[in-house]
Chain A
Amino acid sequence: MRESSYKVLPGPEGYLPPAAATMGVMLPDPGQAIMEGESVDRDTALRAAALKLIEARNPVFFPGPLILWDWKPGVAEKATALKELAEAVGAKMIPMPDYRPKYPMINPAIEVNPNHPNLTIWHNKIDVCLFIGVHCHYANLALKIIRGGTDCYTIAVCAEAGHEEAMISLRDAGLCELQRLRELVIELKGGKNQ
């Protein structure tokens, strides 16, 4: 994987931040992850994500349609694991049930939308968010908007190839990664949730 000097960091980077891919940030290879634009091994990224989540003032999970709706075998187990992870972190969950723009009817207190995720982040004063179960093209769109307009730290738990727009992105993440992340959160908190 080619290394880029460009860092994918919390913004606000400006109205139209460059797509990280155009700045040379590459998706991680299998078994790897990316952290702020650099390739790292999966365990390093998991530990960093756990630390960011427990250090956050207001960590929020944004579960998308692929995990909110029980549409195929295995989803319910992942949903349960995600809920347990949120409880371990002490994070609120704000859903992204579908991708209808719904402007101007979006209620940022109770939902997030890929077309204006900044509204939900501003409204709820979120400093760390975690994307999971959002179709990749919408996740990339939302992550880029967040980087452009907010100072929120973004973590993407992706079941596919990962997201270069996120500050920390796992790839091929499933039930095992959620469970591992929960273990790390509990470990870093000093085992309080065990």
Chain B
Amino acid sequence: MKTGMLKISPGFEEIMPPEYRELVDNGPYGKDYGIGDLGSYKELLEEHPLCAGCGLALSLRLTLASLPMPEDTVIVGSTGCSALAFPQVALHNIHSLFGNQNAVASGLKRALKLRFPEKEKDVVVIAGDGATADIGLDMVMQSWLRREKITTIMLDNEAYANTGGQESGMSMQGAVLNMAPTGKKFPKLSLPEIAHTCGCAYVAAASPAKPKQLAKVVRRAILVAREIGPTYVQLYSPCPTNYKFNPKETVSLIKQREKDGLYQSKEYISQEAQAFLESIEVKK
């Protein structure tokens, strides 16, 4: 993003809606903010139409607050609940056809590299489990196999949540949903392991129940993708609407799942990525 894009033309300050003035005066662009600074600045996403207690909304908020360089980040989204929130996000973002997000992101990253060879531009795919693990799995895996320098973040709510509640490849075996009344017949896909096998330099599974860990893995994934190769982050983001739990219990449900051994945080780091992360994290 050109820094001038953050400057209002003379004489127009008064007519700009307050939201934009706040983003210019107190937004995260060009500043090294993290989740510890939440509440002290104008966030990239403040209003959205997602359901009360939506785990995905919480993951998205923390993810956006963890971007190392929001002013030079382009988000590529896909169809799903997250697509309802992206029109409100104050970042460059592209909505792709359902499942096509990693193909779009691959082309975008290459084009940005040609157009701005001296400038780092982070391309981050943020999509749901349907787009990532079912409909778009081909495009996702092919981008990893081609070693595209992009980050893929899956907001895993274990369902097609805004179309009435169908099971996805990421639903747990036995999960009962409105449109899967007899329960899912096969196990949850192990996408972190697939990503690792496909050559992702950095792979992590985290959840908004541990915000600091989520922030750390998102940041690591983006920095590794910038320097080394594809990275994958899976964020468990339960859906109170389709899984029919109290919206205020989203975080406690994640903790309970972890306690029961039904969800675990993970991290796979290639040797090259490990050396890179050690070099930058020691420096910091």
Contacts and interface: CB of A to CB of B under 8 A. Distances in A.
Interface of A: 63, 67-72, 75-76, 79-80, 83, 93-95, 97, 100-105, 107, 110-111
Given A95-B17, A101-B87, A107-B17, A72 B4 contact: yes
Interface stretch (B6-14, B118-126, B133-141, B157-165): B6-14
Interface in B148-185: none
B262 interface: no
Given A100-B87, A105-B88, A111-B17, A83 B11 contact: yes
Interface residues of B, number: 20
Contacts of A111: 17
Cβ-closest 7 pairs across A and B: A79-B9, A71-B4, A83-B11, A101-B87, A70-B9, A70-B7, A97-B20
28 contacts: A67-B9, A68-B9, A68-B16, A69-B5, A69-B7, A69-B9, A70-B8, A70-B9, A70-B10, A71-B5, A71-B7, A72-B2, A75-B9, A79-B9, A79-B10, A79-B12, A80-B11, A83-B11, A93-B12, A97-B17, A100-B87, A100-B88, A100-B89, A100-B90, A102-B87, A103-B87, A104-B49, A111-B17
A97 B24 CA distance: 12
Contacts of A93: 12, 15
B3 to A, nearest CB: 9
Nearest to A95: B15
Interface in B1-48: 2, 4-12, 15-17, 20, 47
